[in-house]
């Protein structure tokens, strides 16, 4: 008999292993997102050494996101079947090796190849960790997802300033060597603590017997729509389009805020500090908005957050000094936190049966947006020698996301 079934409702194990999974997930998230966010700090050193255009440099980052998104549904399916431990071990190996090889970069072809490898490494991150968290936690699912994804904010808070310090003290090549070694060791180690679901530890999900919460788990059989059923409904694609817009807007800022700030005459250290602010406020936003999703509802939280994101991008259009950029960064960083509601809203709409695959679809769209946004901004800058038009286009995409959130409705019964 499945051990999960032997645990009586209303009883609790002396230690819930889900908390170990949360700690391991935070560590992995901080390593992966922090090192990826540091791309903006490496942007000009790499550009200046090789004499490439901003479109060329941005294109490598976009390729990373394209591959990450394309492989996300595959990683989601693998997580559903074999669990997050194997998936994240594989991803940690690829990510660490990609950064180590960046220290030997010598051509634009190598640049794209290596960031393609990094994209493969990134592909299992969100889809594996957040779908696994949704299996372990029913009550406070949004809050727990927010806490895990806040690890990405922690990484963004700490890694860009550290990368700037290493580049200033040594070189950008040695900095990539350090990043690669840390990711290779720490991410693979943390992945060994992940487990697919509570049944593997003889436990039930947190909140399975709480009033007002109905577990979507019966023994080892998960309820909900199949992947084929979910992709035939409008809500999944509305959510996916919202996440495309979210990725588009956020990564225009993450990739281009540091070069944009230095173009305005702001020092490189203060430009790196803006990225650190994004990480710090993202932590607050993810925990706050994850909790708000539990209390106020996921759809309402999305609407408020996307309206805030639209306003923040409008500020980037008129910002001319550090303090205006700082204010705009604070607002968009907080709204970034709404991404934590991806897995909870998918679980709410479609159940857990194909959660990994369904989350993989929205992650694919998020990654596509994250790839398209920075490339667009780099291309527009090369054509106009200004980010103004790029920020205007970004604001329009943010507005479209807000409109979509207004029209998001639960799927009809029988659909």
Q: What is the pLDDT of residue 220?
A: 37
Per DSSP, the three-state class of 217 is: strand
CA distances for 46 relative to 32, 104, 113, 197, 332, angstroms? 20, 12, 15, 43, 27
Residues lower than pLDDT 50 in the chain: 1-11, 211-221, 412-415
Q: What is the pLDDT of residue 188?
A: 95
Q: What is the pLDDT of residue 390?
A: 93
Q: How far apart are CA 32 and CA 48, in angstroms?
A: 26
CATH of 16-199+224-407, one of 2.30.110.10, 1.20.1250.20, 3.40.190.120, 1.10.3720.10: 1.20.1250.20
The most distant pair of C-alpha atoms in the chain lies apart, rounded to whole Å, by 67
Q: What is the pLDDT of residue 410?
A: 67
Would you state the structure tokens that stand for residue 354, as one six-digit string? 């194909």
How many H helices and E strands in the chain?
A: 17, 2
**189 backbone dihedrals φ, ψ, rounded to 5°:** -65, -45
Which residues face 137 on adjacent strands? 206
Q: What is the pLDDT of residue 209?
A: 64
Q: What is the pLDDT of residue 219?
A: 35
Task: Show me where the domains of the chain are located.
Answer: 16-199+224-407
Q: Where do we find the tokens 């790029």?
A: 390
């Amino acid at each position: 008999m499945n051990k999960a079934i032997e645990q009586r409702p209303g009883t609790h194990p002396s230690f819930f292993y889900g908390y170990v999974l949360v700690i391991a997930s935070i560590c992995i998230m901080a390593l992966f997102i922090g090192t990826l966010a540091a791309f903006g700090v490496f942007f000009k050193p790499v550009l200046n050494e090789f004499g490439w255009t901003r479109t060329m440099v941005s294109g490598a980052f976009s390729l990373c996101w394209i591959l990450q998104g394309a492989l996300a549904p595959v990683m989601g399916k693998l997580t559903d079947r074999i669990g997050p431990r194997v998936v994240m071990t594989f991803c940690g190996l690829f990510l660490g090796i990609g950064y180590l090889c960046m220290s030997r970069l010598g051509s634009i072809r190598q640049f794209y190849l290596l960031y393609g490898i990094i994209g493969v490494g990134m592909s299992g991150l969100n889809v594996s960790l957040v779908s696994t968290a949704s299996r372990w936690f029913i009550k406070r699912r949004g809050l727990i997802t927010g806490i895990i994804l806040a690890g990405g904010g922690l990484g963004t808070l700490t890694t860009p300033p550290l990368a700037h310090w290493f580049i200033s003290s040594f070189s950008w090549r040695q900095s990539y060597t350090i990043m690669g070694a840390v990711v290779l060791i720490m991410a693979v180690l943390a992945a060994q603590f992940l487990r697919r679901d509570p049944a593997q530890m003889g436990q039930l999900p947190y909140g399975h017997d709480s009033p007002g919460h109905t577990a979507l788990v019966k023994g080892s059989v998960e309820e909900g729509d199949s992947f084929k059923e979910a992709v035939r409904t409008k809500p999944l694609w509305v959510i996916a389009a919202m996440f495309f817009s979210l990725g588009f807007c956020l990564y225009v800022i993450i990739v281009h805020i540091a070069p944009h700030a230095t173009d305005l005459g702001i020092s490189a250290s203060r430009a790196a500090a803006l990225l650190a602010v994004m990480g710090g406020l993202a932590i607050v936003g993810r925990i706050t908005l994850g909790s708000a999703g539990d209390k106020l509802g996921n759809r309402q939280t999305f609407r408020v957050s996307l309206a805030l994101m639209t306003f923040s991008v409008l500020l980037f259009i008129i910002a001319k000094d550090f303090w205006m950029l700082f204010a705009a960064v604070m607002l968009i960083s907080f709204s970034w936190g709404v991404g934590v509601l991806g897995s909870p809203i998918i679980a709410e709409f479609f159940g857990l049966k194909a959660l990994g695959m369904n989350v993989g679809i929205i992650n694919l769209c998020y990654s596509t947006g994250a790839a398209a946004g920075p490339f667009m901004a780099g291309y527009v800058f090369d054509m106009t020698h200004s980010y103004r038009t790029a920020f205007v286009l970004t604001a329009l995409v943010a507005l479209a996301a807000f409109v979509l959130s207004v029209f998001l409705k639960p799927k009809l019964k029988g659909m």
